[in-house]
Amino acid sequence: MSEEADTHEGNGKVSRVIRIGTRKSQLARIQTDSVADRLKELYPDVHLEIVAMSTIGDKILDTALSKIGEKSLFTKELENALERNEVDLVVHSLKDLPTTLPPGFTIGAVLKRENPHDAVVLHPNNAGKTLETLPEKSVIGTSSLRRAAQLKKRFPHLEFRDIRGNLNTRLKKLDEKQDFAAIILAAAGLKRMGWENRISTILEPEDCMYAVGQGALAVEVRARDADILEMVSVLHDPETVLRCIAERAFLRRLEGGCSVPVAVHTQVKDSQLYLTGAVYSLDGSDSLKETMQTSTAADDKVLQSLEEVDEQVQRVGVTASKIPSDAQDRAERLGMELADLLLSKGAKEILTVARQLNDSR
């Protein structure tokens, strides 16, 4: 709990103050407000305070993310505040959270996923066009090696260049200059900002698979704060949790991060969790892609013993004690086994070369 975390109301009741940490960008604030609104509905007696701060990733805007060489670009300052008890929980885009969290922290909630796919946003002059119909050598802006690798292979007539900054900045760079024919952004962010009308195409998995955890919000807490953990656990969306555990386990096993092109696609259908994972060379010419599946159905015996589950079990950083543990275990195993399959076919070599090339650029 933070210091001075109680306030006395006029009626003599003591009300808790919960401080929520967030990045300062407009999108981060919108995402954090959406989590705060859910908590207010569920716990009307709790007072919520939002504490906004800048992170390394927000400050270094002239360098590609993959070149900065820091795994927790958008999370470190927020975690420092959590560690110092200045905030009680932090709202992140799950895709910004490394697959191994610092000791003492856990993801206490993964909320229902927004559309995880990437979107094409065209320069106003190119209205009505698609990536396919853009002229030869049109420049596409993306700060993601994953997007560039997949799209270079799929659309060899296009060129790809880094574009950094928050959503507002990137759209401004697109609209006000002639540098880019289009930019690629996460559909979820555009939707949360109310800018769906800027989306010209949603990229299907055949064209571009998404990043691990993309489209999902995560609430990070101190692992020892049982009351806060319990409080936020009701925000978990079971299907999103299982999909993201599988995705994060896949990435962790591959030792991937911002600096290598790794992509996924997950789906839950008829009590089966399907995970497609892929690794790419920087230019997309070399790639490996496979799909595996596992059951998401809960074992009756496990359901009966759910009360006795050790609350502190973390799977790739996620604590979800109210979701059947065997389903979580299977999701984690699925991610690891798919990574092992790709590694057995040469994924490590592809990623090592990609990392070395990126470092030397």
Residue 196: give its domain's CATH number.
Answer: 3.40.190.10
Domain boundary among 200, 220, 246: 200
Q: 25-47: string of b/e by CB count within 10 Å (b at 16+)?
A: bebbeebbeebbebbeeeeeeee
More confident residue, 355 or 304: 355
Q: Which helix (H) or strand (E) holds 27?
A: helix 26-42
pLDDT of 308 over the 50 cut: no
Q: Are residues 181 and 217 in the same domain?
A: no
Q: Are residues 147 and 132 in the same domain?
A: yes
Per-residue pLDDT tens over the stretch 213-253: 999 999 999 999 999 999 999 999 999 999 999 999 999 99
Domain presence at residue 3: no
Nearest Cα neighbor of 90 from 53, 42, 45, 38 is: 53
By percentage, how much of the chain surpasses pLDDT 70?
A: 85
Domain presence at residue 321: yes
pLDDT band at 259 (very low <50, low <70, confident <90, very high): low
CA distance 294 to 125: 46
DSSP assignment of 234-274, as one string? TT--HHHHHHHHHHHHHHHHHT--TTS-EEEEEEEETTEEE
CA distance 239 to 196: 25
- Residue that the structure tokens 């979701």 belong to: 323
pLDDT of 6 over the 90 cut: no
Domain presence at residue 8: no
DSSP assignment of 166-210, as one string? -HHHHHHHHHHSSS-SEEEEEHHHHHHTT-GGG-SEEPPTTT--B
Domain presence at residue 5: no
Active site residue 96: yes
Q: Are residues 164 and 296 in the same domain?
A: no
The count of domains in the chain is 2
Q: Are residues 146 and 235 in the same domain?
A: no
Of the residues 6, 37, 96, 179, only one is catalytic, namely 96
pLDDT band at 360 (very low <50, low <70, confident <90, very high): confident
Mean pLDDT of 103-111: 96
pLDDT band at 67 (very low <50, low <70, confident <90, very high): very low
Whole-model pTM above 0.75?
yes
Locate 262 and state its tokens: 């790794």
Q: Are residues 97 and 167 in the same domain?
A: no
Q: Are residues 264 and 288 in the same domain?
A: yes
Identify how many contiguous H helices and E strands the chain contains and give both numbers. 12, 14
Domain presence at residue 10: no
Other beta carbons within 10 Å of 94? 26
Strand 118-122's sheet: what is its strand order? 159-161, 139-141, 182-186, 118-122, 201-202
Q: Are residues 107 and 239 in the same domain?
A: yes
pLDDT of 334 over the 50 cut: yes
Q: Are residues 85 and 222 in the same domain?
A: yes
More confident residue, 345 or 96: 345
Q: Are residues 229 and 296 in the same domain?
A: yes
| Mean of per-residue pLDDT scores for the chain | 88
Q: What is the domain range of residue 103? A: 15-113+211-308+315-358
Nearest Cα neighbor of 258 from 103, 117, 148 is: 148
Rg (CA), the chain: 21
Q: Are residues 339 and 265 in the same domain?
A: yes
Count of positions (residues) in the chain: 361
Q: Are residues 125 and 243 in the same domain?
A: no
CA distance 267 to 276: 9
**What was the pLDDT predicted at 103?**
92
Is 350 in contact with 357 (CB distance < 8 Å)? no
**What was the pLDDT predicted at 55?**
63
CATH number of the structural domain spanning residue 31 = 3.30.160.40
Domain presence at residue 142: yes
Task: Calculate the dihedral angle through the C-alpha atoms of 186, 189, 190, 193, rounding to the nearest 10 degrees.
Answer: -170
Domain presence at residue 7: no
**What was the pLDDT predicted at 3?**
42
Q: How far is CA 52 from CA 87, 210, 239, in A?
A: 10, 28, 30
Domain presence at residue 4: no
Q: Are residues 340 and 254 in the same domain?
A: yes
pLDDT of 57 over the 60 cut: no
Is 45 in contact with 15 (CB distance < 8 Å)? yes
Per-residue pLDDT tens over the stretch 15-50: 689 999 998 889 999 999 999 999 999 999 999 999
